[in-house]
Amino acid sequence: MNLHVKTLSLMTWRSRFLEESFWSLEETAALAKQLPLKSPSENIFLHIVDLSDPKQIWKFVENFKQEHKLHVLINNAGCMVNKRELTEDGLEKNFAANTLGVYILTTGLIPVLEKEHDPRVITVSSGGMLVQKLNTNDLQSERTPFDGTMVYAQNKVSERQQVVLTERWAQGHPAIHFSSMHPGWADTPGVRQAMPGFHARFGDRLRSEAQGADTMLWLALSSAAAAQPSGRFFQDRKPVSTHLPLATASSSPAEEEKLIEILEQLAQTFK
C-alpha cells in the first residue's frame, strides 16, 4: 500500500514513568525511513510527545498548528502500568496517557483537521473494552482495588472513554470522519512487556504487527472506509458491535456527557 502524501508527521510518545521504552528514538526514526512513500523527497517529521503530560501536549498542539497541515490523526499510544502511580501533575498514569492525553491531542488538532479535504481520526482500542462499563465516578482508580489489566481495559472501552469520545466527536464534528478499531491481539513489544504471561501462553497465536496495522491503515486511506458512517468501531475492516452478547457494559447519555465534562475541565486546567 503506497502512502500518497507529501508530508508525514510521526508523533511518537515517550514517557518519564516507563522504565524502558518499547521503541527507542533511533528505532522509530529508522522505521519512518522504511515507510512505502512514493518519493524520497517527501517530508517526514518525527515529533516526540509525552502523552501523560497535559502541558507538553498543549504546547505541541500549538506549535503544530503553526507549522503543519493534518489530514489523518491515528491515536495509537497506550500504556499499562500495573500499580497505581501518579504523574508529576497528580494524575493516575494510565488515565493520563490513555484517555486525557488522547482527548487533549485530538480536540486540540480538530481545527487543523477541519481545514483539509477528507480528514480522518482513527483511535486504536483494545479487546479489553468489551467487558468494561464506563465508571465516571472513579476514572483515576482512587476508590476501587487497582488492577493494571482492568484499568487498561477501562481506558480502552467502547462507549467507555476512548470509544465514547470517538462517537461524541463524530456527532460534534461532521466534517471529520472518526472511527475506532480493534487491531486484534498482535505480537508487539508493548504486549510482550506489559503482559508477559499472556504473551507466553498465546504468543504463537498472535497477529503480526503488519496484520494488526491493516485495518488502521485501511481506515486512514480507503475511500470505502470513508463511506462508512462516522463514529463506528471496526475490526478486520468491518464495523462490529462494541459489546459482547448479553454484556451489561452500555452507558447512558448522562454518563457519557459527564465523561466529556470531566475531561474538558481537566484539559483546560493544564492549558
158: left (phi over 0), alpha (psi -120 to 50) or beta: beta
Q: Are 98 and 258 in contact (CB under 8 A)?
A: no
Alpha-carbon distances of 187 from 18, 135, 148, 201, 209, rounded to whole Å: 20, 30, 19, 12, 6
For the record, the C-alpha cell of 245 comes out as 452478547
- What b/e string do you get for 247-267 counting C-beta neighbours within 10 Å, with b at 16 or more? eebebeeebbebbbebbeebb
**Exposure of 19 by Cβ count < 10 A (0-12 exposed, 13-18 middle, 19+ buried)?**
exposed
Q: Is 152 a catalytic residue?
A: yes
Alpha-carbon distances of 74 from 62, 102, 246, 266, rounded to whole Å: 18, 10, 31, 22
Instruction: Please work out, in degrees rounded to the nearest 5, the angle formed at the alpha carbon of residue 144 by the alpha carbons of 141 and 148.
Output: 55
Task: Enumerate residues 6+ apart whose C-beta is below 8 A from 152.
Answer: 78, 79, 80, 94, 98, 126, 128, 194
Among candidate residues 13, 95, 103, 152, the one labeled active-site is 152
Q: CA-based Rg of the chain, rounded to a whole angstrom?
A: 18
Query: Catalytic amino acids?
Result: 152
